[in-house]
């Protein structure tokens, strides 16, 4: 987790939700599954009411790719860049704190024009999140300083 969710991986331009090709986060997870001997998985897709829309079982790589292809064919949409993007992390429990809300922000980031604005709608019932994440925010004076800190060599905190 220290490497997989570290700044070097997350900063990669292909490390985005829904992107499997050349995504270092995804490739790292696949490599770990191979090393661990995972040979079977069951994946499901859900609709917006959390009803199962597909079941994909078998060899873990093939089953996951079939599920991803199903999603691409049935829910992926082409979008244009916009000056203002309003996004969400999908509601409870995915929006329970600011740390988790960042996932919705990254999706918005992929659609907003350079210099545009992304607005995240997130309940954050648990506030900022884990105490380590809160401490990082309190220690830094700006979002830029937070990024510089997490990108510094050797930085790691459990969040």
In this structure, the answer to whether residues 69 and 86 fall within a common structural domain is no
Sequence-separated contacts (24+) of 71-80 with Cβ below 8 Å = 71/18, 71/45, 72/18, 76/18, 79/111, 80/111
The CATH number that applies at residue 107 is: 3.90.226.30
In this structure, the answer to whether residues 60 and 42 fall within a common structural domain is yes
Cα–Cα distances in angstroms (integers) from residue 130 to residues 97, 127, 133, 158, in the given order: 9, 9, 5, 9
> At which of 22, 50, 74 does a domain end?
74
Whether 117 maps to a domain, the answer reads yes
Residue 89 backbone phi and psi in degrees, to 5: -100, 10
- Expressed as residue numbers, the domain containing 45 is 7-74
In this structure, the answer to whether residues 50 and 88 fall within a common structural domain is no
What's this model's pTM, rounded to 2 decimal places? Answer: 0.76
> At which of 74, 100, 123 does a domain end?
74
In this structure, the answer to whether residues 30 and 66 fall within a common structural domain is yes
**pLDDT in the model for residue 11:** 83
Find out whether 121 and 87 touch, Cβ atoms under 8 Å: yes
DSSP state, residue 69 = H
Task: Walk along the chain (159 residues) and give the pLDDT tens digit of each residue.
Answer: 567 877 788 888 888 888 899 999 999 999 999 999 999 999 999 988 889 999 999 999 999 999 999 999 998 888 899 999 999 988 888 899 998 888 888 888 888 999 999 999 999 999 998 898 899 999 999 999 999 998 988 888 776
The residue behind tokens 């079977």 is 40
> At which of 46, 74, 102 does a domain end?
74
Whether 49 maps to a domain, the answer reads yes
Domain count, the chain: 2
In this structure, the answer to whether residues 68 and 102 fall within a common structural domain is no
In this structure, the answer to whether residues 101 and 48 fall within a common structural domain is no
In this structure, the answer to whether residues 129 and 95 fall within a common structural domain is yes
**pLDDT in the model for residue 1:** 59
User: Whose CA is closest to 32, among 1, 69, 77?
Assistant: 1
Whether 159 maps to a domain, the answer reads no
Whether 1 maps to a domain, the answer reads no
The residue behind tokens 């809160």 is 134
């Amino acid at each position: 987790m220290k490497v997989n969710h570290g700044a070097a991986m997350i900063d990669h331009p292909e490390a985005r939700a829904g992107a499997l090709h050349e995504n270092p986060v995804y490739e790292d997870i696949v490599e770990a599954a191979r090393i661990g001997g995972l040979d079977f998985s069951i994946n499901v897709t859900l609709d917006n009411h959390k009803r199962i829309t597909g079941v994909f079982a078998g060899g873990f790589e093939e089953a996951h790719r079939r599920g991803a292809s199903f999603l691409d064919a049935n829910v992926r949409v082409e979008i244009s860049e916009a000056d203002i993007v309003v996004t969400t992390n999908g509601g409870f429990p995915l929006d329970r704190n600011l740390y988790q809300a960042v996932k919705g922000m990254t999706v918005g980031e992929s659609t907003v024009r350079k210099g545009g604005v992304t607005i995240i709608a997130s309940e954050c019932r648990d506030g900022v999140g884990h105490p380590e994440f809160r401490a990082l925010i309190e220690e830094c004076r700006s979002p830029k300083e937070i990024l510089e800190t997490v990108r510094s060599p050797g930085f790691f905190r459990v969040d």
